[in-house]
Amino acid sequence: MTPAATLSGRKILLIVGGGIAAYKALELVRLLKKAGAGVMSVLTPAGAEFVTPMSLAALTGHPVRQALFMPEDETAMGHIELSRWADLVVVAPATAGLIAKAANGLADDLASTTLLATDKKVLLAPAMNVRMWLHPAVQANVERLKGFDGFHGVAVVGPDEGEMACGEFGPGRMAEPAAILSAIEGLLAGPDGRPLAGRTAVVTAGPTFEPIDPVRGLTNRSSGKQGYAIAEALAELGARVTLVSGPVALAAPVGVERVWVETAKEMQAAVQAALPADIAVMSAAVADWRVDGVASGKIKKAPGGPPSVALIENPDILAGVSAPGKLRPKLVIGFAAETTDLEANARAKLSRKGCDWIVGNDVSDDVFGSEGNAVTLFTRGGDVESWPRQPKSGVARKLAMRIADHFKA
Ligand code: C5P
């Protein structure tokens, strides 16, 4: 679905907080308007230090709301009405202060009152100094907002990692306007915004760990970030997701059921147990081999040199899930991490494994453990789509939307 198809006629309330990233909110308004959305804006006093109400008014085509108690504003559209008018509330930049107020139900100005009064989903695009973002108080506030039951929910896009205006480096930069736009598109996709409601999915992520003895093992390089982001994006579109995860240091996405595994055989069993499912996305970096005859005690260093370790092949989980049968998911997606000949290798993998789509990524670049990824999607029907390098969450949202489109068709 193009952004225009999803966003045309949709109503966005944009709350612009105080931060240097506020200038990017103007570009976001431009992109939203171009896609046919209606935008009203709230500018906090701190936000007004960075962008002028005049720019926001000119770009949105509507007066900008700046204060809670303004008689002329209340006669046009009261702040409660404004928060209900929107299909989605977007806070960009979402400062530590705005997040803290929302997480704790504080309502002492227009932005915080609107966030408390709305009955719509809220998308936060955090932007702050890296130390502030990593502070446990901010992290706890974000988790708290995500976790409220019976609330319409909070989604978060970004922050990105990189050099910041304050000269420090790390996560804290506001997501780029294009990434915020695709997050908005994802949240609003479909008539009810949850085009995968009623669908089930199983996603594998992370590496496997194959023991040699109680203290050593074989593993692959994988942070699990891309698979976790896919599980999260599918859940955001309404799917019921089981995430079968190898050992990684990531929190389970909200609403996703995580099953921890260590070895490929455990991963295979957990995937089988999660079937039937409509969708299978196998993004784990599964070890191709395991040790034949794992030692029960620690293998000692001996004068004769290192021990030889016999390897046997692990089951191919993706090929197993793709094999025809009653439990085969309707859509099976595999990954191909390649350093050369991406297209030829991805196509070969597509037919060898029997899956429906392959997401090819060139790992000759900086992919492992990083926030960004550039991928090409190959379908059995012969479609090829290249998606530019973007945060792994952006790739995940695009893939989830592509999956939703597939089921709609
Ligand atoms: O054969 P290769 O490892 O390159 O294929 C990658 C794809 O196959 C990924 O989707 C990966 O999750 C899946 N795979 C699997 N089980 C294996 C090996 C790979 O599911 N034993």
pLDDT tens track for 117-170: 988 889 999 999 999 999 999 999 998 988 775 456 788 999 998 877 777 888
Ligand 1, atom 13, residue with closest C-alpha: 318
Give the whole-angstrom CA distance, residue 407 versus residue 279: 10
Is 391 part of any known ligand binding site? Answer: no
CATH fold group of domain 200-408: Rossmann fold (3.40.50)
Q: What's the pLDDT at 150?
A: 47
> Residues lining ligand 1, CB < 6 A?
204, 264, 282-284, 286, 314, 316-318, 334-336, 349
Q: Tell me how far apart the alpha carbons of residues 71 and 271 are, in angstroms, rounded to a whole number.
A: 59
Closest residue by CA, ligand 1 atom 4? 336
What does pTM read for this prediction?
0.66
- Positions annotated as catalytic residues are 166
**In the chain, where the domains are located:** 3-188, 200-408
CATH of 3-188, one of 3.40.50.1000, 3.40.30.10, 3.40.50.1950, 3.40.50.10070: 3.40.50.1950
- Whether residue 353 is annotated as binding a ligand: the answer is yes
Give residue 334 CA to ligand 1 midpoint distance, Å: 7
- 3-state class (DSSP) for residue 68: coil
Q: Give residue 395 CA to ligand 1 midpoint distance, Å.
A: 19
Residue 142 φ/ψ, nearest 5 degrees: -65, -45
How buried is residue 150: exposed, middle or buried, by Cβ count under 10 Å (0-12/13-18/19+)?
Answer: exposed
DSSP tag of 48: G
Q: What is the pLDDT of residue 254?
A: 67
Distance 351 CA to ligand 1 centre (A): 13
Residues of the chain whose pLDDT is less than 50? 1, 150
Residue 298 annotated in ligand binding? yes
CB–CB of 139/102 below 8 Å?
no
335 is in an annotated binding site: yes
**Domains 3-188 and 200-408 agree in fold:** yes
- The rounded Å distance from CA 323 to ligand 1 centre is 14
- 398/233 Cα distance (integer angstroms): 9
C-alpha to C-alpha distance for 387 and 379, rounded to whole angstroms: 14
Q: Which helix (H) or strand (E) holds 147?
A: helix 136-147
In this structure, which residue's CA is closest to atom 7 in ligand 1? 335
